A and B are shown apart, each in its own frame.
Chain A
Amino acid sequence: MSQRKTQDFGLRTIAGLGLVLYVTFIVVPVFMSLRSSFTDQNPLKSASSFVGLANYREMWQDEELRASVLYTLALAFGVTLAANALGLALALLLNGTGRSYRALRTIAFLPQVVSGIIVGFVWKTILTHDGLLNDVLVSTGVVSAPVDWLGTPGMARLSVGVVVAWVLSGFTTVVYLAALQHIPRELYDSGAIDGAGPVQRFRLITWPMVAPATTISVTISLITVLKLYDIIAVLTAGGPSYATQSTAQYIVKMAFTSDRFGYASAVAMFLLLASAVIALSVTSALRRREIDL
């Protein structure tokens, strides 16, 4: 026994170091944020004092925060739905054999490979008021005047959703494709013998067989949107006014632009709790569904 301990000394030390680092940079910061959320901590002041629940009470009255929460929720659920529907559709279309299909599958993942910053700049060039999309639409006569894709609150909210759904679809497509390729051919053959049409085959074979992929794909889509920062930062910077500001962005703005560490921490605690509740409840609901199907 003691010989084993000496044998494992190096292994234990490094494993322990990993755990210590993780606790230092993930677990401890969460508790530091929690503590800070009950204070008026501000980098411009030397000392901070406890203010009880004042930050949380202020959050309740904060119109800008409320708008960001509503937009983040709408974006999370809307984008997740769109990216999973599009991902499954593209996966069904790309689920063929041969080199051509393999090449197309490789291309479909590309939106996931480039950074959100590049995605943001490219789409901004396309969508901005005198951008490429308006150039094409006006010159072909589809619209008579340029459309302000990023300039009005409603359009900007929708445009951000389209871009984020586009990025995530690269990922969902590959996840659904992996699941489709594991469905045994015999299931479809026997379905065809029993006289099931394409719609029935999808409903009775494909849909239940991709259920585990749906769980993963939906969960990761939701988490990704809830912490989204870079694409919005480039595309709209949260504007016009704060129409497309996500809660994640509002936290960063409160912390680094307004220097209100305490308040930013309180909002961060709210985002943490909301993300945990949403991710865990949706995942467990989808897991239960996997068994029912």
Chain B
Amino acid sequence: MSNERATRYTNRLRLLAAAVVILVFVSPIYVTIVNAFKSEDDIRANPAAPPLHPTLANLTTAINRPDELLQAGLRNSLIVVACSIVLLIPLTSIFSLYVSRRRTRARAALLALLAAGLMIPPQVVLLPTIQILTAAGLDHSYPGLILSNVAGGYFSFGVFVYTGFMRSVPDEIIEAARLDGASGLRIWWSIVMPLVRPATATVAIFLSLWIWNDFLNPLFILGPLTGQTITTGLYLSVGQYQTSFGQLFGIMFLAGVIPVAGYLFMQKHFVAGLTQGSSK
């Protein structure tokens, strides 16, 4: 009896310790959230305190900026992410379906070629990418940025996730559909895609997050006059002149709230995606 109570006591102590350590670990995020709702004086007095006199002034100032930093940035990022994902999902899944039905040696060679895309630092291909886009008349444009997203290292990531799942799609189902005269694309859409839905979730979630947070490509491929994504907008506008702590936290809170909300909404798929990734 007393032994049981002791176990319960240590369990509670362990949970408390875990909670304290994690709170310290995410304290920069905590600081951003609470101070977005505090006046400058309250922030200076104690940045760790919760907002005792909560104010929306920081957020309204951020939204009412004359340069529309947040509105323009969020809109442009949303366009880039949505277009890139809509193209990447069919492209990577169809490529993976095709590759996973090839002979072992051809498949290994193609996947090795694609593995390079995951490892090559983006700085190495950035300059030639801009030259290629310029030759195609797509430099300093959203189509150019989207094209470089679709064709670059993100393509490799999508293919690697999908090929892992395609292996578990039985050959017999595909052969049976073939004998019934179904085309390759018909098989892809009606048979394979429903079977690899978890892979689609993983690819869509992680690539959305990475493309949303991407900085180097939008900074140099879009250039200063084409408009900014949320990351390049923050980089170029914030800190050009003295920004108060309250305003800075207000801007960062609003800029970060979409990916964080998306993550909290989809977090089951996030962990599932990472677990599959790390057990392969």
Contacts and interface: CB of A to CB of B under 8 A. Distances in A.
A111 B26 contact: yes
Interface size class of chain B, counting residues whose CB lies under 8 Å from the partner chain: 35 or more
A82 interface: no
Contacts, number: 259
B213 A226 contact: no
Contacts of A261: 127
Give the residue among A118, A122, A248 with the most B Cβ atoms within 10 A.
A118
Contacts of B19: 100, 104
A10 B123 contact: no
Contacts of A286: none
A175 B178 contact: no
Closest 7 CB pairs of A and B: A11-B184, A29-B128, A115-B213, A25-B151, A227-B121, A21-B151, A15-B98
A230 B26 contact: no
A29 B277 CA distance: 28
Interface string B13-42: 011011101100110110110000000000
Given A11-B185, A96-B18, A229-B215, A121 B119 contact: no
Interface residues of A, number: 87
Contact of B91 (A18, A101, A217, A279): A18
A74 interface: no
B183 A125 contact: no
23 contacts: A10-B184, A11-B94, A12-B98, A14-B90, A21-B147, A26-B153, A26-B156, A33-B128, A94-B18, A107-B26, A111-B26, A113-B263, A115-B215, A117-B231, A117-B234, A121-B238, A122-B249, A213-B278, A217-B278, A223-B118, A229-B215, A233-B215, A261-B127
Contacts of B259: 113-115
Contact of B123 (A11, A96, A229): A229
Interface in B235-268: 235, 238-239, 245, 248-249, 252, 255-256, 259-260, 263-264, 267
B2 interface: no
B48 A136 contact: yes
A270 to B, nearest CB: 10
A63 interface: no
B178 A7 contact: yes
Given A28-B128, A33-B127, A212-B279, A126 B28 contact: yes
Given A26-B117, A272-B121, A110 B128 contact: no
Interface stretch (A47-55, A183-191, A249-257): A249-257
A36 to B, nearest CB: 8
A167 B69 CA distance: 25
A11 B188 contact: yes
Given A14-B94, A115-B231, A132-B47, 6 more contacts: A26-B156, A104-B19, A121-B238, A175-B278, A252-B126, A252-B216
Interface in A195-246: 212-213, 216-217, 223, 226-227, 229-230, 233-234
A22 B31 CA distance: 42
B125 interface: yes
A27 interface: yes
Given A26-B120, A122-B32, A216 B215 contact: no
Interface of A: 4, 7-12, 14-15, 17-19, 21-22, 24-30, 32-33, 36, 90, 93-94, 96, 100-101, 104-111, 113-119, 121-123, 125-126, 132, 135-136, 166, 169, 174-175, 178-179, 181-182, 212-213, 216-217, 223, 226-227, 229-230, 233-234, 248, 251-252, 255-256, 261, 264-265, 268-269, 271-272, 275-276, 279
B142 interface: no
Interface in B112-136: 113-114, 116-129, 131-132
Interface of B: 11, 14-15, 17-19, 21-22, 25-26, 28-29, 31-32, 43-44, 46-48, 90-92, 94-95, 97-99, 110, 113-114, 116-129, 131-132, 147-148, 150-153, 155-156, 159, 178, 181-185, 187-188, 209, 212-213, 215-216, 220, 230-231, 234-235, 238-239, 245, 248-249, 252, 255-256, 259-260, 263-264, 267, 270-271, 274-275, 277-279
Contact of A108 (B22, B215, B239): B22
Q: Is the interface of A mostly helix, strand, loop or mixed?
A: helix
Given A25-B132, A96-B18, A7 B155 contact: no
A115 B238 CA distance: 15
Most buried by B among A113, A251, A265: A113
B30 to A, nearest CB: 10
Contact of A14 (B44, B91, B209): B91
Contact of A15 (B11, B99, B234): B99
B22 A271 contact: no
Q: Which of B25, B159, B181, B248 has the most CB of A within 10 A?
A: B25
Contacts of A212: 278-279
B18 A8 contact: no
